[in-house]
Chain A
Amino acid sequence: MSIEEPGKKEVPLTNLKDGESGIVVSVKSGYGRAWGLKKRLMDMGITPGTKITVVKTAPFHGPLEVIVRGYRLAIGRGMAEKIFVKVERVE
């Protein structure tokens, strides 16, 4: 399902700079209370293998604005930290 390429590290989505994209590897969470939020993220289209682009971050450490599956989504910072991606750097 996912293509492994050497030299690309998994980083949380919050590490991406404005305008950068990545491929979702996993959404980390236990089976506890945060499980519902993970499900919700996936229902919104953030599933492994999906391309996600960070458009910008709201000031004061606010949420991230991302483009995923052709639409605009705002994700709170705490949750964005749980989304792990492989970065696609534009040279």
Chain B
Amino acid sequence: MSEKKLVIALAGNANVGKSVIFNYLTGLHQHIGNWPGKTVEKAEGTLHFKGYRIDIIDLPGIYSLSTYSIEESISRRYIAVEKPDAVINVVDASILERNLFFTLQLMELETPMVIALNQIDVAKKKGIEIDVEKLSEILGVPVIPTVAIKGIGIFKLLDKAVEVAGKKTRPKKVEYGEDFENAIRKIEESFIDYDLPYPRRYVAIKILERDKEIEEEVIQKNPGIISIAKEVGKKLEEKYGHSCPTLITSERYRIAGCIAREVQKIISPPRPTLAEKLHEVTTHKVLGYLVMGIILLSMFFFVFAFGNLLSETLSNLLYGLKPFLTFILETGFLGELFWGGIVEGLIAGATIALPYVIPFYIALYILEDSGYVSRVAFLMDNAMHKMGLHGKAFIPLILGYGCNVPACLGCRIMETQRERLIAAFATTLIPCAARTVIILGLVGRFIGIQWALVLYVFNLIIIFLLGRLAFKALPGEPTGLIMEMPDYRLPHLKTVLKQTWFRLAEFLKIALPLIIVATFTVKLFEEAGLLEAVNTVLSPVTVRWLGLPEAVGVSLIFGVLRKELALIMLANLLGTTDFSYVLTPIQMVVFTIVSMFYIPCIATIATCVKEFGWKKSFFLTVFEILFALALGGIVFRVLSILVNLF
């Protein structure tokens, strides 16, 4: 007996508990990937329910179905074109009006839907009571009160979703004011051969609203209609004194407001809750920064203490296997190649990236789920604006000092692709723990700790300048912070752990092969005795331009695998760990600056590939190499002149 199949999509605002419901429904049967051709995350899962095999698609958390962001246009296209059997609209019961604004837009797509009235317990605590039946009646959509973190109402929700999917129940029509209805009707009537994937009425509303995407689709089929819509729209604009997009958005909010007032009763004036007091403290002009300092530092230490421990344990364990493996594989060229290339790469991946990514994801999701990230963004917005980013970017930047890999992944918290890219670019230039080894181990130890600090400041200045440059160079909208600050809540640990687990799996799938291939290639060169040749080939750059010893060429290449290897290899190749014998202070500074900027390590490159695709990562890498070399050469010459002067 074959199971019947259903596809159900989860849609709703951000911070409403959508991911908790998704994780509750799909458990461990989920897959995190990207939408085809996009860098927006796509979470899918399956479950079996009453003889159905149900695919659940978790759409991104959004506030509207316009085309402001890729997330919005993906969600809209998905619901209209792929036509899931039903949509579960997750709604925050304590912010009903704004959530209904989104619900109304979903209803216009005429897909069978169910509303999960989530966090009904939080709403009650705030003194808000909702007449569920009345709401359901007004919208013509089943409404199920839920408390997702406790699993309350989820079974009933799924049951209803299956029911509406089977019956193909359409939600009620959203009635606009009279003038608007007339305008919509006029546009609707002018369609002749209608064959767009969207409902007719929806298209009429959208072109009245001057939605660019829909307009283009209409122009290809019925160009005349746009001019009719413009004409009708103009009359509305003259009457009300606002542009049509403004008018329709206002009208939708008016309807949402009416419904919300009709179904909700504010029982008691809310007194300040613990969540509100926390909000006061964490956004306070003095205390806020203090708390932020403490929280971010503890996160930093948690990630690196836990990471170091895990890293050491794993590498001891894996290197412990070496005698056993070499015994099986017999030594010699092939054995060396296997061990040095593949296994070392595996170990590098497992001991560098992995241990830090796990605690980082856990910490990040806790901060995000609890609502704290938005407070940090609030406090740091102004500082980040100087770099063309907004407040949220502060978090990946700080994390970059530990390891660039999780920091790059953290750039996801930015809203637009462009902001993610600028933030990631800035992040890869932040000296991570491995680069700190070089800065402190070379300049700090042999020239003086104050010079190491000077280098850190120099690095910040360069990042700031490059950030501004990237901001100017990359096309796109000016950035600005428009961000909900949701009430604080206890993060749901199970969801946090599941989110960590599935994103980790996705990360390994992409990053690990790349790391292994790179390690293998370097090993191959080494075994083939080509390293000398590489040094010679690179000598015009390393020796003539940068004024460094020839051995630097190979050590910089090793630095691609792990940044601190650049220094370790240099010690090996020069035959001493006392660099004061073999390098002048200027050479040390130049070498450190080049290592600081020249390339994100292979694990970071792999992460960028995962987040931004091959092309952008390649461009980023090449830019950083050229920039570091240029900068190194300039610093070498400037310092040489200065030294001669004094």
Contact present for A39 and B378 (CB under 8 Å): no
Given contacts A58-B382, A62-B381, contact A39 B250 (CB under 8 A): no
Query: When each residue 268-299 of chain B gets 1 if its CB lies under 8 Å from chain A and 0 otherwise, what string results?
Result: 00000000000100010100010000000000
Give the docked Cα–Cα distance between A63 and B285 (Å).
12
Contact present for B378 and A48 (CB under 8 Å): no
A36, A50, A74: the one within 8 Å of B378 (CB): A74
Most B-side CB within 10 Å, residue of A26, A43, A44, A58: A43
| Contacting residues, chain A, for B66 (C-beta < 8 A) | 39, 43
CB distance from A38 to the nearest CB of B (A): 8
Most B-side CB within 10 Å, residue of A27, A50, A59: A59
Most B-side CB within 10 Å, residue of A33, A49, A61, A71: A71
Q: Which residue of A lies closest to B481 (CB)?
A: A76
Give the docked Cα–Cα distance between A70 and B374 (Å).
17
Q: Which residue of A lies closest to B253 (CB)?
A: A47
| Contacting residues, chain B, for A59 (C-beta < 8 A) | 285, 289, 379, 382
Instruction: Tell me whether B385 is interfacial, beta carbon within 8 Å.
Output: yes
Q: Which residue of A lies closest to B475 (CB)?
A: A33
Contact present for B481 and A74 (CB under 8 Å): yes
Instruction: Tell me whether B390 is interfacial, beta carbon within 8 Å.
Output: yes
| Contacting residues, chain B, for A47 (C-beta < 8 A) | 246, 249-250, 253
Instruction: Tell me whether B300 is interfacial, beta carbon within 8 Å.
Output: no
| Contacting residues, chain A, for B483 (C-beta < 8 A) | 73-74
Given contacts A42-B246, A48-B246, A58-B378, contact A76 B95 (CB under 8 A): no
Give the docked Cα–Cα distance between A50 and B68 (Å).
21
A39, A56, A70: the one within 8 Å of B283 (CB): A56
Contact present for B477 and A74 (CB under 8 Å): no
B96, B382, B385, B482: the one within 8 Å of A41 (CB): B482
Contact present for B478 and A37 (CB under 8 Å): yes
Instruction: Tell me whether B242 is interfacial, beta carbon within 8 Å.
Output: yes
| Contacting residues, chain A, for B379 (C-beta < 8 A) | 58-59, 62
Q: Which residue of A lies closest to B252 (CB)?
A: A47
Contact present for A45 and B482 (CB under 8 Å): no
CB distance from A24 to the nearest CB of B (A): 10
A contacts with B, residue count (CB < 8 A)? 37
Give the docked Cα–Cα distance between A1 and B477 (Å).
31
| Contacting residues, chain B, for A79 (C-beta < 8 A) | 480-482
Give the docked Cα–Cα distance between A16 and B249 (Å).
25
Contact present for A75 and B242 (CB under 8 Å): no
| Contacting residues, chain B, for A8 (C-beta < 8 A) | none
Give the docked Cα–Cα distance between A21 and B66 (Å).
28
Give the docked Cα–Cα distance between A39 and B245 (Å).
8
Q: Which residue of B lies closest to A56 (CB)?
A: B283
| Contacting residues, chain A, for B391 (C-beta < 8 A) | 63, 74
Given contacts A36-B68, A59-B285, contact A42 B249 (CB under 8 A): yes
Q: Which residue of B lies closest to A78 (CB)?
A: B480
CB distance from A55 to the nearest CB of B (A): 9
B245, B250, B253, B283: the one within 8 Å of A58 (CB): B283
Q: Which residue of A lies closest to B484 (CB)?
A: A73
Most B-side CB within 10 Å, residue of A33, A44, A61: A44
| Contacting residues, chain B, for A17 (C-beta < 8 A) | none
| Contacting residues, chain A, for B64 (C-beta < 8 A) | 40, 43
Given contacts A74-B485, A76-B480, contact A50 B253 (CB under 8 A): yes
Give the docked Cα–Cα distance between A61 and B379 (Å).
10
| Contacting residues, chain A, for B481 (C-beta < 8 A) | 63, 74-76, 79
Instruction: Tell me whether B361 is interfacial, beta carbon within 8 Å.
Output: no
Instruction: Tell me whether B438 is interfacial, beta carbon within 8 Å.
Output: no
Task: List residues 506-537 of chain B with CB under 8 A from any CB of chain A.
Answer: none
Contact present for A48 and B385 (CB under 8 Å): no
Query: When each residue 50-66 of chain A gets 1 if its CB lies under 8 Å from chain B and 0 otherwise, what string results?
Result: 10000010111111010
B95, B98, B377: the one within 8 Å of A74 (CB): B377
| Contacting residues, chain A, for B97 (C-beta < 8 A) | 45, 69-70
Give the docked Cα–Cα distance between A62 and B379 (Å).
7
Give the docked Cα–Cα distance between A16 and B279 (Å).
21
Give the docked Cα–Cα distance between A65 and B377 (Å).
12
Given contacts A37-B482, A49-B250, A62-B379, contact A44 B98 (CB under 8 A): yes
Task: List residues 15-34 of chain A with CB under 8 A from any CB of chain B.
Answer: 26-27, 33-34
| Contacting residues, chain A, for B289 (C-beta < 8 A) | 59
Task: List residues 55-112 of chain B with CB under 8 A from any CB of chain A.
Answer: 63-64, 66, 68, 95-98, 101
CB distance from A82 to the nearest CB of B (A): 10
Give the docked Cα–Cα distance between A75 and B391 (Å).
11
Give the docked Cα–Cα distance between A18 and B383 (Å).
22
Contact present for B283 and A65 (CB under 8 Å): yes
Q: Which residue of A lies closest to B391 (CB)?
A: A63
| Contacting residues, chain A, for B383 (C-beta < 8 A) | 60
Give the docked Cα–Cα distance between A43 and B245 (Å).
10
B98, B246, B477, B482: the one within 8 Å of A75 (CB): B482
Instruction: Tell me whether B324 is interfacial, beta carbon within 8 Å.
Output: no
| Contacting residues, chain B, for A36 (C-beta < 8 A) | 68, 477
Give the docked Cα–Cα distance between A49 and B251 (Å).
11
CB distance from B12 to the nearest CB of A (A): 14
30 contacts between A and B (CB under 8 A): A26-B242, A27-B246, A33-B476, A33-B478, A36-B477, A37-B480, A43-B63, A43-B66, A43-B249, A44-B98, A45-B98, A48-B246, A58-B379, A63-B382, A63-B391, A63-B481, A65-B378, A69-B97, A69-B253, A71-B486, A72-B486, A72-B487, A73-B482, A73-B484, A74-B481, A74-B482, A74-B484, A75-B482, A78-B385, A79-B480
10 shortest interchain CB distances as A-B pairs: A43-B64, A76-B481, A47-B250, A76-B480, A62-B382, A59-B285, A72-B485, A42-B249, A71-B95, A79-B480
B-contacting residues of A (Cβ < 8 Å)?
1, 26-27, 33-34, 36-37, 39-45, 47-50, 56, 58-63, 65, 69-79
